[in-house]
């Protein structure tokens, strides 16, 4: 998972902000801002996005919501990596919304601080992000995320842009990987697909370890577990244990080691690897098409 070991390797690679800015310019095409009351109706095919506040049992979560300007669409919850809700994940959400999904990017650290906590991963590194985030991260227990997921699913079902007859998907990155499994377990009647990209902590002995919750998932759940090659090198048995657990519980699961290091799917990550990231994106869309 994303930790100081990964950070040491990241610092050797650096971040190309020019390339990241170019991604932002491309992903922003066709987006209509509608955060304020009275905003004009979006053009057909455009996206509507807004900053939103969602009441949970633990407080008020700030989040980013984007969806096609017309029609109703399956909903997706995105759990960011350890650097939190920032432009990299807004770009990802816009791209997914362009494939006809209503996408909510959660601020996992809302109990402590509104987003963005960091401008990008370079800012996370510069500010000593691990030390800052450590106390916030401790509050992201399985029970807390299950409460959040239930509240987020209920909020999404109240949005006119969401197709409530379809299941909800969720995807998570790094720290957000296990949050996807907990989300399905917390709202199994609504959340039907979970995609973990270079997720940490999926395997463990605790009762709440994601691998030990497969029996709590709905029968029609679909899992996509995309493992980083360096994570696999550190824990080569994890993929086998996950496969065995999914098969034992009859859970539909695609489990694969990708040719990218931890963080390879996130645009502002120093190890972003486009070919492997695009492969993962294609598998994500296929999973949602099958499950939602």
The top-level CATH class assigned to 4-13+46-291 is alpha beta
pLDDT of residue 129: 84
Q: Which two tokens stand for residue 161?
A: 């842009």
Q: What is the DSSP string of 58-94?
A: TEEEEEEEEEESSS-B-EEEEE--TT-SSHHHHHHHH
Q: Which residue, chain included where needed, has tokens 């699961």?
A: 253
pTM of the model: 0.89
pLDDT, tens only, 153-169? 999 999 999 999 999 99
Angle at 233 between CA 228 and CA 236, to 5 degrees: 95
In the three-class reduction of DSSP (H, G, I as helix; E, B as strand; rest coil), residue 95 is classed as helix
Output the pLDDT for position 2: 52
What pLDDT does residue 45 have?
62
Whether 97 contacts 103, CB under 8 Å? yes
**DSSP notation for 143-195:** HHHHHHHHHHHHHHHTSTTB-TTSPEEEEEETTHHHHHHHHHHHSTTTEEEEE
pLDDT at position 40, please?
38
pLDDT digits (tens, 9 = 90+) for 42-76: 444 699 999 999 999 999 999 999 999 999 999 99
Predicted pLDDT of residue 124: 86
Structure tokens at 245: 């657990």
CA distance 280 to 283: 5
Residue 240 pairs in a beta bridge with none
Cα–Cα distance for residue pair 86/88, rounded to 1 Å: 6
Cα 114–chain centre separation: 17
Q: Which residues pair with 254 in a beta bridge?
A: 224
Residues of the chain under the 70 pLDDT cut:
1-45
Residue recorded with tokens 């633990």: 58
């Amino acid at each position: 998972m994303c930790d100081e070991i990964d950070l040491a390797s990241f610092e050797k690679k650096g971040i190309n902000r020019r390339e990241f800015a170019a991604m932002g310019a491309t992903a922003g095409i066709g987006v209509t801002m509608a955060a304020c009351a009275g905003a004009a109706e979006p053009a057909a095919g455009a996206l509507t996005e807004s900053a939103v506040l969602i009441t949970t049992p633990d407080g008020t979560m700030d989040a980013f919501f984007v969806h096609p300007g017309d029609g109703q669409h399956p909903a997706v919850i995105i759990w960011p990596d350890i650097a939190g809700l920032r432009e990299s994940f807004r770009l990802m959400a816009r791209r997914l919304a362009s494939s006809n999904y209503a996408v909510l990017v959660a601020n996992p650290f809302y109990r402590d601080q509104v987003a963005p906590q960091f401008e990008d991963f370079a800012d996370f590194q510069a500010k000593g992000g691990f030390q800052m985030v450590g106390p916030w991260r401790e509050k992201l227990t399985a029970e807390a995320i299950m409460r959040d997921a239930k509240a987020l699913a209920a909020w999404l079902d109240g949005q006119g842009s969401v197709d409530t007859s379809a299941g909800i998907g969720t995807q998570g990155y790094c720290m957000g990987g296990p949050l996807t499994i907990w989300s399905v377990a917390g709202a199994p009647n609504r959340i039907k697909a979970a995609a973990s990209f270079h997720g940490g902590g999926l395997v463990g002995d605790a009762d709440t370890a994601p691998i030990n919750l497969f029996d709590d998932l709905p029968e029609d759940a679909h899992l996509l577990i995309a493992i980083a090659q360096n994570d696999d090198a550190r824990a080569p048995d994890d993929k086998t244990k996950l496969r065995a657990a999914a098969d034992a519980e009859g859970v539909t699961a695609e489990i694969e080691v990708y040719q990218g290091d931890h963080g390879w799917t996130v645009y502002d990550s120093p190890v972003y690897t486009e070919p492997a990231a695009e492969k993962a994106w294609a598998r994500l869309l296929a999973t949602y098409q099958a499950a939602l």
